[in-house]
Structure 1
């Protein structure tokens, strides 16, 4: 599960050494669950999502522009039963208000 601030540095394929954005502001916040099987430890996964939310809040605590622009979150594609519940949990905890579903990763 990853979350990345939406800044010109993170959405542009061009990187500039002289840009005003700091590395800390544009570096994704990542959490490693430790397994490919979310069903193995769903409570651990939920706790890690909650920690990710706290980490994002901490990162944005002094960055008004970053907080206003939001984040991009990449989650699992598992959408049946427990997987759907985990996605709903992530959306709630991370205060996600727009969900983009990609049917093809090459888009």
Structure 2
């Protein structure tokens, strides 16, 4: 789930730079019911992800400065995930119908 949350944050608002980390990493911030969590994804000889409560200074920056652009709403992430799953099911269902119609054969353009 943390990987999906990081992908969502990366695609929707980008990731702030973590100047304190020596390894290549990504950060994301999510808010749910007035609580904020900070997600880390660190790359080295593998990938490790974890979350924690951000420092008071970071929470202040998220709530009172332009840094707040990096704050994602957890509810938005959940809705996005549900919609993405529904779209995936529609495509899968449409492919099944097409296979049934074509008798399981692949039909290319210009085929007779």
TM-score of the two chains, using structure 1 as the length reference:
0.26
Higher relative contact order (CA 8 A, sep 6+): 1
Structure that is richer in strand per residue: 2
TM-score of the two chains, using structure 2 as the length reference:
0.25
CA radius of gyration, larger in:
2
